[in-house]
Amino acid sequence: VCKHNYLVTDVNELPLIMKEAFHIAREGRPGAVLIDICKDVQNATGLFRYDYEIDLPGFEPWPTVDQEAVRAAADAINKGERPLILAGHGVQLGGVSRELLELVEKAEIPVVTTLLGTGNIPESHPLSLGMGGMHGEAFANRAVQNCDVLIAMGMRFDDRITGRLDRFAKQATIIHFELDKAEVGKNVVPDIPVIGDLGETLPALLPLIEDRRHQVWIQELREWRDDTTQTDIINYEVDQLIPPFVIRQLWHSTKDATDGAIIVTDVGQHQMWECQYYTHDISGQLLTSGGLGTMGYALPAAIGAQMAYPDRLVWAVAGDGGFQMTLQELAVLKQERNLPVKIAIINNGFLGMVRQWQQLFYEKRYTG
């Protein structure tokens, strides 16, 4: 799961390898690069120099934008009567949340986000449908299945968003804006692929989009939303708090924080409750482990966020299982100038998502 890997057998090669590795990791679609340093190299002494010119034949992280593909995408969007945007993490990585909102409002196109795309547009916006997929809103998934043009931006059609591929958005013309050519057609084959950096393709698309209103489609979505969505949770339990209520109260208590609170989640049920019951109005406000689902992520990531933004409110939201994996990092909070990270532990006494799957798919055969 890395973009490239190196085996260092000569200490004098290490500076060039380090320079190349950071270049590969940061250019194009960001990703990890593995540098494996042999034991004898770790003990060796060499001459350090860093003035190498990087030459990586075949490495083309920023593909040239196909303007014909952009025009084809614009034509399909302009003809659509039930358009929908499916926005992923690439929108944040490309720094185009503002341009996305401009497109949404210009053509009145509703938006569903992936887990890592949460906050791509303000979730309080009337055209935001929230998160879709396995753990998302029912009406958002219904919108995906009933749209006639699906505009996927910076996402990879993983199974958590698509469900069964043979039933996914069968009525729609699918347009896929994606930087990494290897992701296009891997899971869902688009009718119109647009390869390139969203920082280039989305600004190129905007002037070609007509001012449109889709009153019938938007009204239908509002009715579906009213049928299925409830975010203001009432806690009827006298002796305990239910997690959705806790998350919603966390939003109420932090929504007016200066520059917006940074919410960092671990991995599990609480992660999905956070996405469902916390209203994210700022791009990048939520930090969470998506594709790899790394338990133990919340506390160390929250420490990093607080050090990067010392004047912002930072909350770590974790389950009891994930928290115990990295709770030793509490010492860092003390060592690093008493960092004011706030921590909420959703403690249910077991690995909630594992148990949920055992209930649903394994006839309640619990282990561990």
pLDDT tens profile 23-60:
999 998 899 999 999 999 999 999 899 999 999 998 88
Cα–Cα nearest to 138, from 150, 149, 130, 147: 130
Q: Are 121 and 111 in contact (CB under 8 A)?
A: yes
Give pTM, 2 decimals.
0.89
- CATH at residue 156: 3.40.50.1220
14 & 140 share domain: no
262 & 322 share domain: yes
Crossing angle between the packed helical segments 97-107 and 198-205, to the nearest 10 degrees: 20
176-193 average pLDDT score: 94
Q: Which of 228, 255, 287 is the last residue of a domain?
A: 228
What is the number of structural domains in the chain? Answer: 3
Residue 368 forms part of a structural domain: no
Give the range of the structural domain holding residue 178, as residue numbers without chain letter.
67-228
259 & 306 share domain: yes
Number of helical (H) and strand (E) elements in the chain, helices listed first? 15, 12
Between the alpha carbon of residue 175 and those of residues 108, 113, 194, 290, the distances in Å are: 17, 15, 7, 23
98-106 average pLDDT score: 98
Residue 138 forms part of a structural domain: yes
162 & 311 share domain: no
Q: What percent of the chain has pLDDT over 70?
A: 98
Query: Model confidence over 237-249: pLDDT tens digits?
Result: 777 888 999 999 9
Which range is least confidently modeled, 58-67, 125-134, 151-160, 301-310? 58-67
Cα–Cα nearest to 283, from 153, 146, 101: 101
12 & 45 share domain: yes
Q: How many CA within 13 A on the CB side of residue 17?
A: 16
Structure confidence at residue 231 as a pLDDT band (50, 70, 90): low
